[in-house]
Amino acid sequence: MRTWGNALQNGRVVDCEDMGNAFDFSLERLTGQGIPGGLESAGAGGEVSSGRLAGGLAGLESGAYVDNVGGKALAGTFFLETFGCQMNDHDSEKVAGVLLSRGYRQVDSPDTAAVILYNTCSIREKAAQKIFSRLGEYRFTKKEGQVIGVLGCLAQQEGEEIFERAPWVSLVCGSASYRKLPQLIAQLEAGNTRITGLETDTDETFETEMTRRDNPWRTYLTIIEGCDKACSYCVVPFTRGPERSRASASVLAEVRQLADLGYTEVQLLGQTVNSYADPSARRMRFSELLAAVAAVPGIRRVRFMTSHPRDFGKDIVEAIEAVPALCDHVHLPVQSGSTTLLRAMARTYTREEYLEKIAMLRGAKRRISITTDLIVGFPGETPKDFEETLSLMDTVRYDGAFSFKYSPRPNTPSLQMEDAIPEEEKSRRLAILQARQRDIQIERNARLVGDVFEVLVEGKSRRENQWMGHTSCNRVLNFTSPVKELLGHYVQVRVTRAGPNSLAGEAVHAGDAR
Ligand code: SF4
């Protein structure tokens, strides 16, 4: 599965060049120039030949495409590429699990796949354009019998329009319909070439026991899907539907299974993860769920992403203070430092209220790293509003920020607002903001030189003795150690150098057991 943004892909260790890229990507993620890491940031012509689908390939238990697919070499194979946030990454792991359970085999290239799937993001116009350009490549190159499907946010947003723009596509399925994927795939296997799953009025979440997880040590777990917040620029409430939380007992049962499988780090996911509302009689609060997950034997780290400032309470900070396994990192998107713009964005908090949450975090007994999302060039953003964003950054001194130019999205209220700020001006403001944030990161990271952090080791360089991993505060730390095997272990590392986007250091002793 090709994804955008994972240093470690398909559970394989990245090699030296890849590792360099992975590090570079981390740089991008921290400076906000890449694909959003925060969940909030919060994505003619040609005949479709009906892929013939039959069961019967030896070793396949169910009806994966098995013949007449541009040659037998492609039979029963799928390729899945993911765009966007961690929610999409994790959805793709579940989609892959569903396909594998139906007898498909995953391949690394669309050229060798019978079924080609794109799990899409539509949070920004650029992401949508990229996906349509990807689909356009198949106008002349789609092999006979190959099936192309569009999943996720763009699928939900564009719906059947995708069939008009790219008639070679056979499946359009939004994330709220993933639980129906087995049936939808069965319809494809039966030879149908126009399959849709586009409902959003569901109170179910997409749970499956078949998830194929990409990283052998850290894992995602969705606890709430959809969003009820209705920020004026955001497509998510439209593409992912209303908020649906998963029962706490079900979450904890899965965490126990994951711990039994050897996972030590769990990241709880949701578009607004801290708006979690346990639907069971237990009515566990989000902060209680965090502590309960952290208490599962074998779990050493718990992260959560993304928090909405309105629902971010003192109890979450107290949980982080009290439970060492809760990572000392909070991603708290602000979007703008101007209360006027926050109102226009329908963010439901003022600058002052947001800063109160920051004061709560900065006053914690543990040092908590804070990252954010920022939008420049929102309709009506005056130079004064922009200055207020810069001054808020100076006040908060974020450890990292994803920053973006506003782009109008379909089905959002801000589409009705005049998008009067020229692109060049948006670019100018973005460059100023990112330069400011870079300076802040240089200063904040430099202060960490000499400190010792525990690192979960996730990558190994081809260069002798070089490793990479993440600290609890979610910084990338590249380090040296003569120990032969450290992947998946927790290692104490002393920081010796700091850049704007990552740290470097050396292990102070060998990794302990997982
Ligand atoms: S509507 Fe607002 S809170 Fe909900 S996902 Fe979009 S940006 Fe986040």
Residue 152, beta-bridge partner list:
120
pLDDT of residue 146 exceeding 80, the answer is: yes
* Residue 376 belongs to some domain of the structure: yes
CATH label of the domain that carries residue 277: 3.30.750.210
Going 119 to 123 to 126 to 128, the CA torsion angle's sign is: positive
Question: Which secondary-structure segment (H or E) carries 196?
Answer: strand 195-197
Average of pLDDT values for 274-297?
Answer: 98
389 and 346 belong to one structural domain: yes
Q: Which amino acid is at 84?
A: G
Say how far apart CA 3 and CA 5 lie, in whole Å.
Answer: 6
Q: What's the gap in Å between 186 CA and the centre of ligand 1?
A: 33
**CA torsion sign, 51 to 52 to 55 to 58?**
negative
User: For a pocket test of ligand 1, which of 121, 236, 275 has the largest count of ligand atoms closer than 8 A to its C-beta?
Assistant: 236
Mean pLDDT for the stretch of residues 79-99: 90
Domain count, the chain: 4
Q: How many angstroms does the Cα of residue 268 sit away from the middle of ligand 1?
A: 17
More confident: 54 or 137:
137
Which residues does ligand 1 sit against, CB inside 6 Å? 40, 42, 227, 229-231, 234, 236-237, 271-272, 308
- How many percent of the chain have pLDDT more than 70? 83
**Alpha carbon distance 336, 345 (integer Å):** 9
What's the domain range around 474?
A: 452-507
Query: What's the pLDDT band for 510 if we cut at 50, 70, 90?
Result: low
Same domain? For 291 and 315 the reply is yes
DSSP 37-73: -SSS------PPP--------TT--S----SSSSSGG
Q: How far is the CA of 67 from the centre of ligand 1 (A)?
A: 44
Does some domain include residue 322? Answer: yes
Decide if 266 contacts 255 (C-beta within 8 A): yes
| Same-domain check for residues 59 and 155 | yes
Range with the poorest average pLDDT among 25-29, 386-390, 400-404, 487-491: 25-29
- Interior/surface letters 259-283, b for 16+ CB within 10 angstroms, e for the rest: beeebbbbbbbbbbbbbbebeeeee
Looking at the structure, tell me whether residues 344 and 392 fall in a common domain: yes
Question: What mean pLDDT comes out for the span 142-163?
Answer: 90
Do 458 and 364 reside in the same domain of the chain?
A: no
pLDDT of residue 127: 79
Which atom of ligand 1 is found nearest the CA of 306? Answer: 8
Centre of ligand 1 to C-alpha 381, Å, is 19
Rounded CA gap, 476 and 324, in Å?
20
More confident residue, 500 or 86: 500
Q: Give mean pLDDT, residues 64-83.
A: 67
What spacing in Å lies between the alpha carbon of 228 and ligand 1's midpoint? 8
* Among 34, 40, 36, 64, CA closest to 52: 64
Same domain membership, residue 468 and residue 376: no
* Residue 460 counted as domain residue: yes
Q: 45-54, 128-137, 202-211 — which is least confidently predicted?
A: 45-54
| Top mutation candidate among 153, 229, 273 for ligand 1, by most atoms within 8 Å of CB | 229
Among 291, 326, 361, where does a domain finish?
Answer: 326
CA of 307 from ligand 1 middle (Å) equals 10
* Contact yes or no for 310/335 (Cβ under 8 A): no
Mean pLDDT of 375-392: 97
pLDDT at 213 (0 to 100): 80
Q: What is the average per-residue pLDDT within 110-119?
A: 92
Q: What gap in Å lies between CA 457 and CA 468, rounded to an integer?
A: 6
Question: Which ligand 1 atom minimizes the distance to the CA of 235?
Answer: 6
In-domain check, residue 20 = no
* Banded pLDDT at 10 (limits 50, 70, 90): very low
Instruction: Report the pLDDT value the prediction gives residue 175, as an integer from 0 to 100.
Output: 85
Question: Among 123, 227, 305, 349, which is best to mutate for testing ligand 1, by the most ligand atoms less than 8 A from CB?
Answer: 227
Give a yes or no: residue 467 inside a domain: yes
One domain for residues 497 and 406:
no
Q: Please report the pLDDT score of residue 40 as a whole number.
A: 52
Judgement on whether residues 129 and 186 belong to the same structural domain of the protein: yes
| Rounded Cα gap, residues 366 and 82, in angstroms | 35
In a domain, 209, yes or no: no
Q: Residue 26: what pLDDT?
A: 31
In a mutational test of the pocket of ligand 1, which residue from 232, 234, 311 has the highest number of ligand atoms less than 8 Å from its CB? 234
Distance from the alpha carbon of residue 276 to the mean position of ligand 1, in angstroms: 14
Q: Which residue, by CA, sits nearest to atom 8 of ligand 1? A: 40
Nearest CA to ligand 1 atom 2: 231
Among candidate residues 425, 445, 465, the one where a domain is terminated: 445
Closest atom of ligand 1 relative to the 335 alpha carbon: 7
Q: What is the pLDDT of residues 397-437, one digit of tens each?
A: 999 999 999 999 888 999 999 878 999 999 999 999 999 99
Q: What is the CATH number of the domain that holds 478?
A: 2.40.50
Q: Are residues 413 and 463 in the same domain?
A: no
Write the CATH number for 84: 3.40.50.12160
> What number does the ligand 1 atom closest to the CA of 40 have?
8
Query: 237 C-alpha vs ligand 1 centroid, how far in Å?
Result: 7
Pocket test for ligand 1, best of 156, 308, 373 (most atoms within 8 A of CB): 308
Higher pLDDT, 21 or 317: 317
Q: Are residues 318 and 332 in the same domain?
A: no
3-state secondary structure of 98: helix
* Index of the ligand 1 atom closest to the CA of residue 228: 4
Question: Which is more confidently placed, 185 or 391?
Answer: 391
> Do the strands 490-498 and 452-460 form a parallel or antiparallel pair, or are they unpaired?
antiparallel
Question: Does a structural domain hold residue 234?
Answer: no
Question: What's the DSSP call for residue 136?
Answer: H
Over residues 191-205, the mean pLDDT reads: 81
Distance 39 CA to ligand 1 centre (A): 9
Cα 32 to Cα 36: distance, rounded to the nearest angstrom: 7
Query: What is the residue whose two structure tokens read 């129906």?
Result: 180
Tell which one of 175, 231, 308, 406 to mutate to probe ligand 1, the residue whose CB is within 8 A of the most ligand atoms. Answer: 231
CA pair distance 396, 444, nearest whole angstrom: 11
Q: Is residue 19 part of a domain?
A: no
Of the candidate ranges 24-38, 145-159, 495-509, the one whose mean pLDDT is the lowest = 24-38
CATH of the domain at 334: 3.30.750.200
Nearest to 375 by CA among 124, 190, 172: 124
Tell how far the Cα of 345 is from the centroid of ligand 1, in angstroms: 10
Stated pTM of the model: 0.80
Q: Find the 349 Cα to ligand 1 centroid distance in Å.
A: 13
Tell how far the Cα of 484 is from the centroid of ligand 1, in angstroms. Answer: 44
- pLDDT > 90: what percent of the chain? 63
Angle between helices 351-362 and 314-322 (to 10 degrees): 20
Domain boundary among 282, 306, 326: 326
Residue whose token pair is 């765009």:
83
Residues 321 and 425 placed together within one structural domain of the fold? no
Q: What is the mean pLDDT of the chain?
A: 84
- Of ligand 1's listed atoms, the one at least distance from the Cα of 230 is 1
234 Cα: distance to centroid of ligand 1 (angstroms): 6
Determine the distance separating the centroid of ligand 1 and the alpha carbon of 32, expressed in angstroms.
18
CA atoms in the 13 A half-sphere facing the CB of 56 = 8
Average pLDDT over residues 66-77: 57
Name the residue with the closest Cα to ligand 1, atom 3: 229
Residue 14 has pLDDT above 80, yes or no: no
Residue nearest to atom 6 of ligand 1 (CA): 234
Are 44 and 192 contained in the same domain? yes
Closest to 459 in 3D by CA, of 481, 439, 444: 481
